[in-house]
Chain A
Amino acid sequence: MGRAKLPRKSTNIDMTAMCDVAFLLLSFFILTTKFKPAEAIAVTTPSSVAAKVAPDKDVVLITIDKDGKVFLTMDNEQIKEVVANSLNNTMNLGVDVNAFKKAGFYGAPFSGLASFLQIPEEKRKGDLLPGIPVKDSTDNQLNTWIRVIKDAYLGKKMNLLLKGDNASKFPAFKAVIDAFKKNDEQKFQMITNPESVPTGSELWKLTMAGEKRDE
């Protein structure tokens, strides 16, 4: 009896298509990855169970480093320009607006801001800079910063963020909070590393019961 002969097929598979897919995905991930910019200010943030992802638009970020020095970061170029101009007008600082726009962060008293901006970007390292003076309650310059920025953001929502170092002492934190309060900014967010909810705790029970957290 004649058996139907199956054509012998090669075990080699054409890898081209798979290769295409792999590299397509690869290029997608490479392009979407945002590498953390080399941080001039070294900060290790504490962890919390908060699950909300930190916003990354219209950010006004206050950084407290481990010595309690305070730095300020903004991301919106237009706002930066408005802030630079208004600082120049009100205090006659003579700040170079373009340099101000390009600067990644600010960490000098107002009197030294113009010279701070003349330091080349790569040489501005957190531990060598004076930071924004906040400790003296009569001359809390962060007050002025927040007020000016708040005016610049008029009508728009700004995300006030605070990023503190584990080891920074409370007085620096308090000075920053005071500056917020003075400007009626009662709401702010603190940047932390995610951490899992301890098993057996009240929150854990709530989450297990399927309740949503209000944050």
Chain B
Amino acid sequence: MAEMDTSSGGGHKKGPGVKKGKKLSTRVDLTPMVDLGFLLITFFIFTTTMSQPTALKLMLPKDADKPEEQNKAKESGVITLLLGKDNTVFYYEGQLDNTASNFKSSNFSGIREVLLDKKSRTPEKDLVVVLKASSESTYKNVVDILDEMTINVLKRYALVDITAQEEELVKISVANAAPAN
């Protein structure tokens, strides 16, 4: 198929005893080459578009030293989410009471329902989600919970430092929950 015609033009007359080389076409079948070309094109198209990382924007609240300068939130509209070890999530509404009776446990698949429930019960302007990550939680947990805010279209949320009491409570709750599963 892909052979070059080596006979020299054909115009030249050769002697009587010399065999004439068969005249072959100089055309090469390009189909396999085109196939290969398109194969590579598809490969490069896929590799270029697939590895485009996206960016999740986060605005940090400004640290206010004086309590008067801090943002006020209505107690009834606040839900606090605490991130614990091994992808656990805890939450409470309003303020944490002394006996921690409103401290509930959940996980990443269940938290959406909790948030939607809270959202449906609270007027939009009052709803504030406070996110507190304990030192046992991972970066993935934080990104996931921020993502949850976007997914559930919660406009007002803040990443806040955890208090020592809450940290302790999360630790105990994780320890208690662990044998159950």
Contacts and interface: CB of A to CB of B under 8 A. Distances in A.
B54 A170 contact: no
Given A48-B147, A166-B140, A180 B152 contact: no
B30 A19 contact: yes
Interface residues of A, number: 59
Contacts of B81: none
A170 B58 contact: no
A32 interface: yes
A50 interface: yes
Contacts of B44: 26, 29-30, 33
Contacts of B38: 22
A165 B142 CA distance: 11
B60 A50 contact: no
B3 interface: no
A42 interface: no
Contacts of B62: 181, 186
Interface stretch (A77-85, A108-116, A120-128, A198-206): A198-206
How big is chain B's contact interface, by range?
35 or more
A139 interface: no
B55 A197 contact: no
A204 B53 CA distance: 21
Nearest to A176: B139
Interface in B131-181: 133-144, 146-147, 150-153, 159, 161
Interface in B36-60: 37-38, 40-41, 44-45, 47-48, 51-60
B56 A50 contact: yes
Interface in B105-153: 112, 116, 133-144, 146-147, 150-153
Interface in B1-42: 29-31, 33-34, 37-38, 40-41
A190 B56 contact: yes
Majority-rule SS of A interface residues: mixed
A49 B58 CA distance: 13
Contact of A167 (B34, B55, B140): B140
A90 to B, nearest CB: 25
Interface of A: 15-16, 18-19, 22-23, 25-26, 29-30, 32-34, 36, 45-46, 48-55, 64, 161, 164-174, 177, 180-181, 186-195, 197-198, 201-204, 206, 213, 215
25 contacts: A18-B30, A23-B37, A26-B44, A36-B51, A45-B53, A46-B144, A48-B143, A164-B140, A168-B139, A169-B137, A177-B159, A181-B60, A181-B62, A186-B60, A186-B62, A187-B60, A188-B57, A189-B55, A191-B56, A194-B53, A194-B54, A201-B112, A202-B152, A203-B150, A204-B151
Given A64-B139, A202-B151, 6 more contacts: A29-B48, A50-B54, A55-B55, A171-B135, A187-B59, A195-B147
